Amino acid sequence: MVVSSVSRFASRYRPTPLATLPPQLDPNEYQWSPEKRRAEAERVALRSRLKRDFFLRLNDPRRTELLEDTAVLRWDYARRQNVYSSHRFTPKSSLLSLLWGAGPFVFWYYVLKSSRDVSTRRSINQKTQQFEKKKQESSTTYNVRTATM
């Protein structure tokens, strides 16, 4: 008879004086009947047989066909064909969809627009300073010319 790992380790667990027994290891939390233990043992045995069979077929050197993993097939079915039952729009999922769908576009628009504005402002300031400098130079030379004449 196969005993689950929880009950096997629960029998050896001793709580420290300052800590209580976790509910997962507390034998009073669950009282398994012999039928429930037998069913658990059958599930573990079936799972181990399926796993052994899968790995034997996977590691067979004479294998020519593609070996399909049933867990991957179930996941793919839930992801593609059975979308509505595996996903429903809630306020949280709608907000996350909007955030991850439109968020990157808004972010990059802001980054590119602000950098363009900064560079435009900088070039306008430089042109204004150059214009002011030329204006001062021309007025200075005019004053010098009129003063000498």
Query: Number of structural domains, the chain?
Result: 1
In a domain, 10, yes or no: no
Q: Kindly tell me if the per-residue pLDDT of 128 is higher than 70.
A: yes
Q: Rounded distance, CA 41 to CA 49, Å?
A: 12
pLDDT at 5 over 60: no
Non-local CB neighbours of 24 within 8 Å, separated by 6+ positions: 6
Which whole-number Å values give the CA distances from 128 to 19, 50, 92, 134, in the listed order? 74, 79, 51, 10
Looking at per-residue pLDDT, the higher value among 84 and 1 belongs to 84
Q: What is the pLDDT of residue 124?
A: 81
Task: Decide if 16 is inside a domain.
Answer: no
15 is a domain residue: no
Owning domain of residue 94: 23-148
Between these two residues, 104 and 14, which has the higher pLDDT value? 104
Show Cβ contacts of residue 60 under 8 Å, excluding neighbours closer than 6 positions: none
**SS3 string of 14-56?**
CCCCCCCCCCCCCCCCCCCCHHHHHHHHHHHHHHHHHHHHHHH
Residue 36 covered by a domain: yes
Q: Does residue 12 lie within any of the structural domains?
A: no
- In a domain, residue 3? The reply is no
pLDDT single digits (tens) 31-68: 778 898 899 899 999 999 999 998 999 899 999 988 88
Helices (H), the chain: 5-10, 34-58, 70-80, 83-86, 91-148
Is there a domain that residue 105 lies in? Answer: yes
- Mean residue pLDDT across the chain: 80
Contacts of 73 (CB under 8 A, 6+ apart): none
Mind listing the pLDDT tens digit for each residue in 99-108?
A: 999 999 999 9
| pTM for this prediction | 0.36
The answer to the question of residue 11 being in a domain is: no
The answer, yes or no, to whether residue 8 has pLDDT greater than 80, is: no
